Amino acid sequence: MDSATNLILNPKDNITSWHEVFGNSNPIHVEIGMGKGDFLIENAKRYPNINFIGIEKFDSVIVRAIEKVPKDLNNLKLIRMDAKEIDEVFANEIDCIYLNFSDPWPKKRHHDRRLTSHIFLRKYDHIFKSDAVIYQKTDNRDLFEYSVVSLSTYGYVIEDISLDLHNSDRGDIIMTEYEKKFVAQGDNIYYLVAKKGIQSHKKMLK
């Protein structure tokens, strides 16, 4: 399978050297929980001057993504890993993170597992290259409201927000496979862009 060359088997070996993996110094964007890859593959096609990395926890799901990747799509790499190890794989190298339809972990005792909890935001501090940029899309209002509070409390500024993305004035939205299903059902999609000056925040933590 030609597209299997996009799969990185030992990602921790590449910490601090991901630009060498891609063979260029282009920005690196990461999607955590990429599912079957629709969103990331389309982004990689449209933006050849950005390097994309998709992280997925489940073998059966990442196999479906591998099958979809065009063999000549050199600016996309896939990793089968748990997001809690993200700061063991990247260090001061990432320009942007996408959190699309992440597990909402609805029970309060599991909220620390949410990808916008303070535990994960602290991990992201170590992987961003300069300023931190996080994009989130979800159909879960509780997770969205939690994320707005968590990100704001942690020092992020919410620069863009929508409570109904597909009825907003934003055009040409690249959708995930889940998003296509939710939109067809008429469900609201919640969306935000959060940014933070990561270097200044690191100095504050010292």
Which residue out of 95, 103, 131, 187 is catalytically annotated? 103
Cα separations (Å) of 86 from 40, 47, 93, 174, 179? 18, 24, 12, 24, 25
Task: Report d(CA 179, CA 160) in Å as an integer.
Answer: 19
Active site residue 103: yes
Q: Which two tokens stand for residue 144?
A: 């969205």
Tokens representing residue 141 in the block = 């209002």
Exposed, middle or buried: residue 107 (CB in 10 Å: 0-12, 13-18, 19+)? exposed
Burial bucket for residue 137 (CB in 10 Å: 0-12, 13-18, 19+): buried
Query: Which residue has tokens 């063991």?
Result: 88
Provide the CA 65 distance to its chain's centre, in angstroms. Answer: 15
Please tell me the distance from the alpha carbon of residue 111 to that of residue 53, in angstroms, as a whole number.
Answer: 25
Supply the residues annotated as catalytic: 103
